[in-house]
Amino acid sequence: MIHVLFVCLGNICRSPMAEAVLRHKIEERGLNHQIQVDSAGTGDWHISKPPHEGTRNLLDTYQIPYANMAARQFGSADFEQFDYIVCMDDSNVANVRKIAGGAEADILKFMDLLPNESLREVPDPYFTGNFEEVYGLVDAGCNVLLERIQKDHSLA
Ligand code: 4NP
């Protein structure tokens, strides 16, 4: 099993959206027995809360399931479990690296999946209110990530 973890700050807006979108794509391609997805936040304010209403509205619009999702905090044990740790912005990368304490970890920045986009971080809709913009980036980036995982692991 291949394990993918999306990381943002609160684990209620961006990373749960990416988790739900990627899981949906995985199921559409029949790869759910090969790839598992989760998400976490570097902060602890929203632990156990469901995704933010703005994220839920977008997922409802695109008919993407998000049942039983609850926020949790990123921790050092996640380095052992996850093959891909995909951070939504630069501060998430810095915080995850701090927790890694110099350990070799495969930490990706989400916007590095979309090198032609001028934005280099996924904007935080908790502050911008623009969940639609995030959905567009998340949808495009998840297509690239899934292609990469399929190629890395020779999955049809
Ligand atoms: P997220 O957005 O990192 O995309 O889940 C945020 C959610 C909550 C807070 C910040 C960002 N907060 O400060 O509570």
| Catalytic residue annotation | 8, 14, 124
How far apart (Å, rounded) are the C-alpha atoms in residues 114 and 88?
A: 12
Residue 4: its H or E element: strand 2-8
Query: Is the shortest distance between the CB of 45 and ligand 1 below 6 Å?
Result: yes
Per-residue confidence (pLDDT) for residue 104, from 0 to 100: 64
Per-residue confidence (pLDDT) for residue 69, from 0 to 100: 98
Atom of ligand 1 nearest to the CA of 8: 3
Per-residue confidence (pLDDT) for residue 2, from 0 to 100: 96
Query: Is the shortest distance between the CB of 42 and ligand 1 below 6 Å?
Result: no
Q: What is the CATH superfamily name and number for domain 2-152?
A: Response regulator (3.40.50.2300)
Query: Is the shortest distance between the CB of 69 and ligand 1 below 6 Å?
Result: no
Whether 31 and 25 have beta carbons less than 8 Å apart is answered as: no
Structure tokens at 37: 């997805």
Whether 117 and 111 have beta carbons less than 8 Å apart is answered as: yes
Distance 10 CA to ligand 1 centre (A): 4
Q: Which residue from 11, 45, 126 has its CB within 8 A of the most atoms of ligand 1, so it is best to mutate?
A: 126
Query: Is the shortest distance between the CB of 18 and ligand 1 below 6 Å?
Result: no
Structure tokens at 138: 């998340």
How far apart (Å, rounded) are the C-alpha atoms in residues 26 and 45?
A: 30
Per-residue confidence (pLDDT) for residue 103, from 0 to 100: 67
Query: Is the shortest distance between the CB of 24 and ligand 1 below 6 Å?
Result: no
- Tell me the CA distances in angstroms from 135 to 22, 76, 104, 115, one per residue in order: 12, 28, 30, 17
How far apart (Å, rounded) are the C-alpha atoms in residues 139 and 2?
A: 20
pLDDT (tens, 9 = 90+) of the chain, 156 residues, equals 999 999 999 999 999 999 999 999 999 999 999 999 999 999 999 999 999 999 999 999 999 999 999 999 999 999 999 999 999 999 999 999 999 877 666 899 999 999 999 999 999 999 999 999 999 999 999 999 999 999 999 997
Distance 91 CA to ligand 1 centre (A): 12
